[in-house]
């Protein structure tokens, strides 16, 4: 990093006939120009961040974390951001930094205006011919979009290939964080749940004689058949990224899809965040209240969410929120934050009870992998 930055300063690349230092580095090392440009940026930033530079030099933090830190660190917050980097994985570091910077004195109005001004939509063609989309939106706008995509993925995966209408899971049965009937969160004060006022009910009935099938049912079954076609031995179930891409296209192009989803906002004394910790402003929440409903969660004297335990198999919506809050809204196996489901550990078949300290959040792929492993061991 330091060599790249110094090479940029010395202008040797200009005397060699290159338009930039990153162009020369990319040509000599046969790497992308954007990669070389990032090396130069990081190297220049490290000159003014001695603590981060020292930690990187002795491999106390990774290059992935350094790339993030050097975008936001300065003389005043360097030590605090470095402490966050030691405590969190690279995938969770940006959310922690966003929450820290949100508490730095910026007013709600200033932050809303900044996030609005930073919105963008860019596209480019990748080398394999694919079109890549990059969309930057304020979190209050983006979170409902992500919730709808993940909810559609979950619904497609639960749709039978043949037979009647899509199966409706019992509350808490592998429900994702964006499940439509999930309850309030385990916040310190209250939660605001955003729901689309125009969305149709997610409960489907089997069409009777002479009645056209529900467009959502048709779309769900058609997409499930494409994911798992009949009569083929060479098919591979699409990856989670591919499933979400299919769901996004189905939502954007219409395709008869109308979903009711939920976005939970945690309202605490130290700020307002979404389930994954992304900060938002009170004014952004207030703009949603006319189309939302509010639920509260009761806490005990030690400020712990009350555990409404029972002998039912499926966790209550209250238990779902308690478990998610306890585990930081991430998969206990891979730290993924999308498509989370609750898993009994030890299995319900052994304990015959559902209590929060025996529930663990797992993303859908890890959840399925764990049960496949258990079946194989049995």
Interval 146-174: pLDDT, tens: 988 988 888 888 888 765 544 444 333 44
Higher pLDDT, 210 or 26: 26
Q: What is the pLDDT of residues 45-92, one digit of tens each?
A: 999 999 999 999 999 999 999 999 999 999 989 999 999 999 888 888
Could you tell me which residues come within 8 angstroms of residue 239 by beta carbon, excluding any fewer than 6 positions away? none
Model confidence at 346, pLDDT cuts 50, 70, 90, reads: confident
Q: Of 293, 362, 369, whose CA–CA distance to 333 is shortest? A: 362
Compute the distance between CA of residue 359 and CA of residue 323 in angstroms, rounded to an integer: 7
Q: Of 307, 268, 265, whose CA–CA distance to 188 is shortest? A: 268
Compute the distance between CA of residue 293 and CA of residue 378 in angstroms, rounded to an integer: 45
Compute the distance between CA of residue 138 and CA of residue 136 in angstroms, rounded to an integer: 7
Q: Of 148, 159, 191, whose CA–CA distance to 320 is shortest? A: 191
- CB 240, CB 365: distance < 8 Å: yes
- How high is the pLDDT of residue 44? 95
Q: How far is CA 265 from CA 14, 62, 144, 160, 276, in A?
A: 52, 31, 11, 33, 10
Q: What is the pLDDT of residues 266-315, one digit of tens each?
A: 777 677 888 777 888 888 877 776 666 666 555 666 666 655 445 567 77
Q: What is the pLDDT of residues 317-338, one digit of tens each?
A: 777 878 888 888 888 888 888 7
Count of CB atoms within 10 A of residue 165's CB?
Answer: 18
Model confidence at 198, pLDDT cuts 50, 70, 90, reads: very low
Alpha helices for the chain (secondary structure H): 2-10, 12-15, 21-29, 33-46, 50-57, 63-72, 78-87, 90-102, 108-117, 139-158, 215-227, 240-252, 282-286, 317-326, 348-351, 364-377
User: What is the rounded average pLDDT of the residues 24-31?
Assistant: 93
Partners of 125 in the β-ladder? 131
- How high is the pLDDT of residue 61? 94
- How high is the pLDDT of residue 59? 93
Q: Of 352, 343, 356, whose CA–CA distance to 312 is shortest? A: 352
Q: What is the pTM of this model?
A: 0.62
Count of CB atoms within 10 A of residue 376's CB?
Answer: 7
**Virtual torsion, Cα 231, 233, 234, 238, nearest 10 deg:** 70
User: What is the rounded average pLDDT of the residues 228-249?
Assistant: 81
Compute the distance between CA of residue 322 and CA of residue 328 in angstroms, rounded to an integer: 10
Higher pLDDT, 309 or 258: 258
Compute the distance between CA of residue 225 and CA of residue 162 in angstroms, rounded to an integer: 9
- How high is the pLDDT of residue 83? 94
Tell me the pLDDT of the chain averaged across its residues: 78
- How high is the pLDDT of residue 136? 93
- How high is the pLDDT of residue 292? 66
| Residue keyed to tokens 């949603």 | 288
Q: Is the dihedral of CA 88, 90, 91, 93 positive or negative?
A: positive
Judged by DSSP in three states, 108 sits in: helix
Compute the distance between CA of residue 361 and CA of residue 54 in angstroms, rounded to an integer: 36
């Amino acid at each position: 990093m330091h060599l790249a930055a110094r090479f940029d300063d010395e202008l040797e690349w200009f005397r060699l006939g290159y338009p930039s230092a990153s162009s020369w580095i990319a040509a000599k090392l046969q790497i992308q120009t954007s990669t070389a440009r990032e090396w130069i940026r990081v190297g220049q930033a490290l000159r003014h961040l001695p603590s981060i530079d020292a930690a990187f030099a002795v491999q106390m933090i990774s290059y992935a974390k350094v790339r993030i830190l050097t975008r936001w660190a300065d003389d005043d917050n360097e030590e605090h951001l470095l402490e966050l980097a030691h405590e969190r994985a690279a995938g969770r570091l940006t959310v922690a930094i966003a929450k820290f910077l949100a508490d730095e004195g910026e007013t709600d109005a200033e932050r809303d205006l900044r996030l609005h001004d930073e919105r963008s939509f860019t596209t480019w063609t990748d080398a394999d011919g694919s079109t890549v989309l990059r969309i930057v939106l304020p979190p209050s706008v983006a979170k409902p979009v992500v919730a709808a995509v993940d909810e559609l993925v979950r619904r497609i995966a639960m749709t039978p290939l043949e037979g009647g209408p899509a199966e409706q899971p019992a509350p808490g049965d592998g429900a994702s964080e964006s499940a439509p009937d999930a309850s309030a969160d385990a916040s310190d004060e209250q939660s605001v749940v955003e729901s689309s006022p125009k969305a149709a009910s997610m409960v489907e009935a089997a069409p009777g004689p002479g009645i056209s099938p529900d467009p959502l049912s048709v779309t769900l079954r058609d997409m499930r058949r494409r994911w798992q076609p009949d009569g083929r031995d060479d098919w591979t179930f699409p990856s989670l990224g591919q499933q979400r891409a299919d769901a996004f296209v189905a939502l954007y192009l219409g395709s008869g899809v109308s979903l009711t989803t939920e976005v939970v906002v945690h309202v605490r004394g130290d700020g307002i965040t979404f389930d994954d910790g992304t900060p938002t402003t009170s004014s952004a929440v207030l703009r949603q209240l006319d189309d939302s409903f509010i639920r509260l969660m009761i806490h005990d004297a030690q400020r712990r969410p009350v555990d409404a335990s029972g002998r039912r198999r499926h966790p209550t919506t209250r238990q779902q929120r308690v478990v998610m809050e306890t585990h930081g809204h991430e998969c206990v196996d891979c730290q993924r934050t999308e498509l989370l489901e609750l898993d009994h550990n030890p299995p319900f078949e052994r304990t015959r009870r559902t209590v929060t300290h025996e529930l663990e959040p797992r993303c859908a792929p890890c959840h399925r992998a764990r049960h496949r492993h258990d079946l194989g061991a049995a």
